[in-house]
C-alpha cells in the first residue's frame, strides 16, 4: 500500500474509500452491513466514509424496504474513478506476485483465504458470511487494493 496509496491520494481518495468504491463498482447495490463485511470495514468507519463519498457524489445512499437498511450504490462518477485507477491497482498485485513467484503467491492467497474463513466461522459461531470464490482469478475475498 505504501506504493499505491500515493496514487490514490493524487486521485483524491483514501485507501478505505478506494476499497469501498471498488467493492461497490462490482455490484449493483448493497446495504451498508453487507458492504462492511465484504471489505472488512467496521460500521463506524464505513459510516464516515459513506457520508464523505456521498457528499462528493461518488456514492448514493437511500433507505431500503426495511427502513433500517441503508442501500448504497456507486454513482457514474464513482464507477468511472474505479475504472481509471484499476490498472494501477492490478500493477501492485503483479508486483507482489513477482516478488514471491506465481506458485507461492497463489498458495499464499489461498492459505490466507482459508485462515480468514476458518477464523470467521467460530468468531460468529456458525453464521459464516464468507462466500467461496470459485473464480481462480479471485485474489481473496478481501482485496487490499
Partner DNA sequence: AAAGAAACGTTAACATGATAACGAATTCGT
Partner DNA sequence: ACGAATTCGTTATCATGTTAACGTTTCTTT
Residues within the interface to its own copies (CB under 8 A): 2, 96, 99-100, 104, 107-108, 111-112, 114-115, 118-119, 122-123
Interface with DNA (CB under 7 A), residue from 11, 43, 80, 138:
43
Distance CA 59, CA 52 (A): 9
Distance CA 93, CA 116 (A): 19
Q: Which one of its own copies, DNA, none interacts with residue 119, CB within 5 to 8 A by kind?
A: its own copies
Distance CA 22, CA 125 (A): 29
Say how many C-beta atoms besides its own lie within 10 A of residue 47's C-beta: 14
Under rule CB under 7 A, residue 5 binds DNA = yes
Grid cell digits, residue 53: 463519498
Q: Name the β-bridge partners of 31.
A: 71
When the beta carbons of 26 and 111 are compared against its own copies, the nearer one is 111
Residues 6+ apart with CB under 8 A from 16: 41, 45, 49
How many residues form the binding site for DNA (CB under 7 A)? 31
Grid cell digits, residue 10: 493524487
Q: How far is the CB of 48 from its own copies (least distance, A)?
A: 21
Q: How far is the CB of 115 from its own copies (least distance, A)?
A: 6
Under rule CB under 7 A, residue 28 binds DNA = no
Interaction site with DNA (CB under 7 A): 1-2, 5-6, 9, 14-17, 31-33, 36, 41-52, 61, 66-70
Amino acid at each position: 500500500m505504501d506504493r499505491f496509496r500515493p496514487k490514490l491520494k493524487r486521485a483524491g481518495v483514501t485507501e478505505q474509500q478506494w476499497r469501498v468504491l471498488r467493492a461497490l463498482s462490482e455490484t449493483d447495490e448493497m446495504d451498508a452491513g453487507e458492504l462492511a463485511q465484504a471489505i472488512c470495514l467496521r460500521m463506524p468507519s464505513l459510516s464516515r466514509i459513506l457520508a464523505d463519498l456521498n457528499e462528493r457524489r461518488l456514492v448514493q445512499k437511500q433507505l431500503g424496504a426495511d427502513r433500517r437498511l441503508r442501500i448504497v450504490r456507486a454513482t457514474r462518477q464513482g464507477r468511472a474513478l474505479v475504472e481509471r485507477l484499476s490498472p494501477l491497482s492490478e500493477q501492485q498485485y503483479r508486483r507482489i506476485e513477482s516478488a514471491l513467484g506465481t506458485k507461492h503467491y497463489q498458495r499464499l492467497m489461498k492459505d490466507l483465504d482459508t485462515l480468514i474463513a476458518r477464523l470467521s466461522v467460530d468468531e460468529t459461531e456458525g453464521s459464516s458470511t464468507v462466500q467461496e470464490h470459485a473464480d481462480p482469478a479471485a485474489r481473496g475475498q478481501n482485496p487490499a487494493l
